[in-house]
Structure 1
């Protein structure tokens, strides 16, 4: 591992995003590959629902895309994490990446041939989701092997910020393609861009060294097989580690109770007259996360990470509730962006705690659980928000959800204070 000299940032650098992990060549290549691939994936993320709607003329089939993507993620996210704790993680990333690339090429081919099959689209989305479920926990688990422990928080922040930036600019660029060429030519172009850019990620993964799971310092070895027993062992470890368990529970509280995005179309129409308002609502949280990441230099210096995580989750809930009360679009967008910044902070801290606190032999399985939580929480939140709005109105669903998440988070850590007491290890100085 390349040594990185640690210096105390001064002036504006104290707030600017910490770029020191980019000084590590292996991490820099992986970060670049993932950034380019994530930008390309946004083209497919827009193109698939556009194609599905063009084929079926209804939102029901578009909604089925969410199920086709989530079910494989739920199943293979856990199994993929177990695989990452058994096999060489570089080989897992290469195999999963090859499957992801092949599914994107299949989307391109069916668009060029104008197959026009909604079932085929659902199948290819499920294959993509399966590949992502295998590679995502593995990609996260290797982070402490690429950078020094004291730079894990900074590297996690770079990853999250890059993801949110691609989530903002990728769909906007994809929209320009469809605006200029329509669906006839726009669909194959979007899929081709994704397939082309993903080759950069495959190149970066190929350049990695071998990454077999390491035994614990006490001699505990990684499991030999990625079976049900291995997955259960991961859950057993999580249940016996209150800090990590509470970090998962508090994130689920925030996402399930306070995620308002299912309400955006109705609120945009009823409160702001439709038009561009819905676009601003959907982009506001991601914009806030991106801006929060760009001014996140201070996160890596936090020692009381558990307390900061709780404050970020409470801040998310309060900001969401306040946004639900606002009646001016600019104020709603600003408060949602503030919530997005809080979400960026909580995500980075939770990921950092998980990567540093868990032993290497467990990181894959715990990242698998994390993948399911991160992907499943917002989707359950969509269901909660929509059902509550149907019964009690958007105000109760939006504002009540935000306040409930903040209150429940406080009650949780008051009853189980292990998370509040968690402190990061003192960083070492490397010459």
Structure 2
């Protein structure tokens, strides 16, 4: 599937350094470095309510990571999925009377336009689940062959058996359940039940065993495959797409903190069982965004959509700055004043850094400071503070500062 057009990224003098990122499993900062090519996988949207500020905040975090890598001289190979067939999408389609394929296509188009509007670097591989049904089914068959996938009888309305992943049988020196999340059994059980799992499903070997393949049901999309007619489970899709396009042991697995468990942990388990290697070196997670003290959700009617802000006349650069003013790893709340602050900030910067060469602080030193802040776990609030200070004093090379802001923060 096509992604969206890539924005230009100015080349800067010198180079930055590989960033240190917070790694969830080790609860420590790890240098996200590579020999030549940094490989990144970020879990994509389930296309039924794109693109709210929670989405935008997460993808901006890993856009910043890409920019830091590029400035450090790395090539970047970025892959992202689209969960264009899954229970939440099908439920929304049924509730609204829209064909699930039409709903997914319209929301993916909206997501693309929002990402382009925010000047987010696109993935090299942008892969819809419906494009890789056969590779996923073949991976499920391999997991069965290796003794970590098993069949569970289904209701009479289904055609064939559901297939599950045996988390205990799959545990070894490479991966065990909880290895990537660092959570205890009670917390994993709670999250599994809350986030799409089915702990009480009869016939499962363990309550935490996740679905690999859902046998065909009436009035649900399904495909013929080597494991029977049906459709993929949630976690296996990312395992297969990531291994297919990035290989194992890639540099960073990214996504929102709501994916820590079960999605990232169990995706890593599937991948380890398929490849014999860890999925990624660093498991990085972005914080959640609420709206004025309340979780954003479609049911509450309080989703703040990028497209709606833009339609109301907001400058996309101001939206981007309003989000980047919060550290990517923190949970935070959006208030309407944040957009006003972003608009005021971009106006100050554009006035202060206009022209070519003016009097003021060293733009070269400012660039060094920006690189230092961003290499320290993508400290965008610290970088913004440096630029706010420079906007007050002026700089001796406005063109370099504009290029620095564009290349590292994606703000023109």
Under a length normalisation based on structure 2, what TM-score does the superposition of the two structures give? 0.26
More helix by share: 1
TM-score by length of 1: 0.25
Whose strand proportion is higher, 1 or 2?
A: 2
Q: In terms of Rg, which structure is larger? A: 2
Q: Which has the higher contact order (CA 8 A, sep 6+)?
A: 1
